[in-house]
Structure 1
Amino acid sequence: MSQSKLPNFIIFGSTKSGSTSLCNYLVQHPDIFISKRKEPNFFLYDEGSIITNKKGKTTVYTIDWYKYWFKKAQEKAIGEASVSYIANEQAPIRIKSRLPDVKLIALLRDPVSRVYSHYLFNQRNNKHEGEKSLLKVIEADQKQGSPEQYFEKGLYYYYLKKYFDIFDRQNIKLFLFEDFTSDPLKVVKDIFTFLNVDSSFVPVVGAKDAPSGIPKNKTIYNFIYKDNFLRKALRPIMRTLFPNREKRRTLWTNLISRNLSRPPLPSETRKVILEMYKPDIIKLQELIDRDLSKWLS
């Protein structure tokens, strides 16, 4: 397999920041290929590592395994999206070793909103035993060294500094979550230019990533998120009625949203978490040359 079958761009950044939607917009471009495997996470591990996931499936992370996900790529821009690369100290070193000229694209979300969204997502999926507040979950996560990395994943300056130290700044493109939500088409077109593909191409945008929240109705939630006979039966019908994939995603996201309630983050909790993140946010402003005063308020 040739070097050309390795990606020349990687999407990473904070969780719950719209990376799934971004990939769905970018991949519509005729000159862009993105791995169909969601989050290969190859650079989280040393090559040759043997990892068993929560479902019991074992993967040997070899370079040939990684190349497999790009073997059909004929496009000019070849990429993958693994948001967890941002909070792994060895990831930038491993990426630089294998892909020295790769272009890096990151979406960053206000870390307090991000950690709360992360918390609600896991609450929805019954990952917290008993009734635990967000602060208690963060505290337990830090003490136990959980892979969830609730708090650590929001230390953007700490982790991004390593990328800026290792890669040329011109090969790193950063966007704030609010940039993406307010004008997704502008962000997508900026990325087209960054990847040196035709920026006049206009993708269908609009469908957003599934929101976080607590299900109002568990039966509806299980139907939406878990494989079942009815879901499988409806798929070909939906594809016939709505051949455009983004329109199907929009309908699906709207259905999800209507069944979720998002309790507000208590103001005192927000203040405590913001104080924890404040030093990192202040340093991040200087690193990326962006005004982050809204994050600090």
Structure 2
Amino acid sequence: MTPPAGLKNSMSAARRLVMRTGSGAFRVLGSATADLRPLPDFLLIGTKRGGTTSLYYDLLRVPQIVPMFPTSRFLPKANETKGVHFFDSFYGKGMRWYRSYMPTAASRARAERRLGKPVVVGEASPYYLFHPLAAARAYAAMPNAKIVALLRDPVERTHSHWKERRRSNAEPLDFAQALEVEEQRLAGEEQRIIAEAPHYISYPHEQQSYVAQSRYVHGLRRWADLYGMENILVLASEDYYADQPAAVATVARFLGLDAPDLEIGGHLNAAPGGSMDPELRRRLQQGFTEDNAALERMIGRRLPWQ
């Protein structure tokens, strides 16, 4: 029997309270034991609306990739924690707070004994690719980390980003209007992020940068200059969705793990499509031409949306 609406609301409120209380307690515990918690081995840095959520949860199906702390076994939540947004939005909380999300060295060792193989930990925060300080902050903390980027056709990503804001009632402008005012909205925001670090968090820089976040080569270059392209794996979202098991196996091998034989599929955070004015699409495609060509030169291969 379906519970009445009032009871359902009460149950939802109770669940949220348990989540907040439990999550806060685990953060206190995690911070108190931060010295026992190694930093992650890899970062999935983007892109927003590119499939990072789907890829991250697919990767957690690899036995040698263990989830962050606490696992969903200890909290009433559907999924494991995906991303922390430490190196972009929450850097001011400090390294102990970041480490509080990581499993302890002892728990990693137990997993390795159980599997008879090494394990790794990673997190996925898609704003890392675009944030002007994220790469330098990450490199200073963990220069030996492996970096994974999942990049989508920039025209489709731009449109999907706008649609996400519209669904959230956070974007009052139609697509063409939003693109027209984007440069004005972003004026001075990157400079302010840098000048007022780590305290300033820019909503327009993260959420209204529809075209700017699709110029992948500029953000990726910051990571490549520090980590080197040999430590960065770039996947195309279109290739990932065409064959998710193969993409997951590619990431596993890049991380030095056994490539598992998984049966996986599906698309998390998917949203209904929408038409785009053909002339606007043409202008966007033309506008991304040079960036896409530079990106292909950087990664040394063709991309499926070129």
Q: What TM-score comes out, normalization by structure 1 length?
A: 0.73
After TM superposition, list the pairs within 5 Å mapping 1:71-220 onto structure 2: 71-72=103-104, 74=108, 76-129=119-172, 132-145=173-186, 146-147=204-205, 148=207, 149-199=209-259, 201-213=260-272
Which of 288, 293, 305 lines up with 1:282 in the alignment?
Answer: 293
Quick one: distance in 2 between partners of 1:79 and 1:291? 27
Q: What CA distance in whole angstroms lies between the structure 2 residues aligned with 1:136 and 1:3?
A: 50
Aligned partner of 2:86 among 42, 53, 56: 42
Q: Give the residue type in structure 2 aligned to 1:15.
A: K
On the 8 A contact 2:37/2:100 being kept in 1, the answer is: no
Instruction: State the aligned residue count.
Output: 232
CA distance in 2, matches of 1:202, 1:116: 34
Alpha-carbon distance in structure 2 between the residues aligned to 1:6 and 1:33: 13
How far apart, in 1, do the equivalents of 2:51 and 2:89 lie? 24
Q: 1:139, CA displacement in angstroms?
A: 2.4
CA distance in 1, matches of 2:280, 2:174: 9
- Give the Cα–Cα distance (whole angstroms) in 1 for the partners of residues 211 and 280 of structure 2: 14
Kept after mapping to 1: 8 A contact 2:46/2:124: no
Task: Determine the C-alpha separation between the residues in 1 that align with 2:90 and 2:237.
Answer: 30
Query: Take 1:18 and 1:112, find their aligned partners in 2: how far apart are those partners?
Result: 15
The separation in 2 between residues aligned to 1:110 and 1:79, in whole angstroms, is 25
Contact 1:18–1:107, Cα closer than 8 Å, also in 2: yes
1:19 aligned residue: 52
Distance 2:67 2:233 in 1: 17
Deviation, 1:291, is: 1.5
| Aligned residues of 1:8 and 1:102 also touching (Cα < 8 A) | yes
CA separation in 2, counterparts of 1:3 and 1:191? Answer: 27
Structure 1 residue 269 corresponds to structure 2 residue 280: yes
Q: Structure 2 vs 1, CA of residues 134 and 192 (structure 1 numbering), >3 Å: closer, same or farther?
A: same
Name the CA distance, whole Å, in 2 between partners of 1:179 and 1:118.
20
* Number of the residue aligned with 1:33: 66
Instruction: Flag structure 1 segments of 5+ consecutive residues without an equivalent.
Output: 50-60, 214-261
Give the Cα separation in 1 of the matches to 2:297 and 2:254: 22
Amino acid at match of 2:97: W
Amino acid in the other structure paired with 1:77: V
Shift of residue 3, structure 1, vs aligned partner: 7.2
- For residues 254 and 305 of structure 2, the distance between their equivalents in structure 1, rounded to whole angstroms, comes to 26
Cα deviation for residue 11 of structure 1 reads 0.6
1:223-277 CA-to-partner distances (Å, cap 9, x unmatched) read xxxxxxxxxxxxxxxxxxxxxxxxxxxxxxxxxxxxxxx3321110101222222
- Matched letter for residue 212 of structure 1: A
* Whole-angstrom CA distance in 2 between matches of 1:45 and 1:70: 18
**In 2, distance between residues paired with 1:207 and 1:263?**
20
User: How far 1:46 sits from its partner (Å)?
Assistant: 7.6
Per-residue deviation, 1:103: 0.2
Give 1:210 deviation, angstroms. Answer: 2.8
> TM-score, length-normalised on structure 2?
0.71
Return 5+ residue gaps in structure 2 as ranges: 1-33, 69-79, 112-118, 187-203
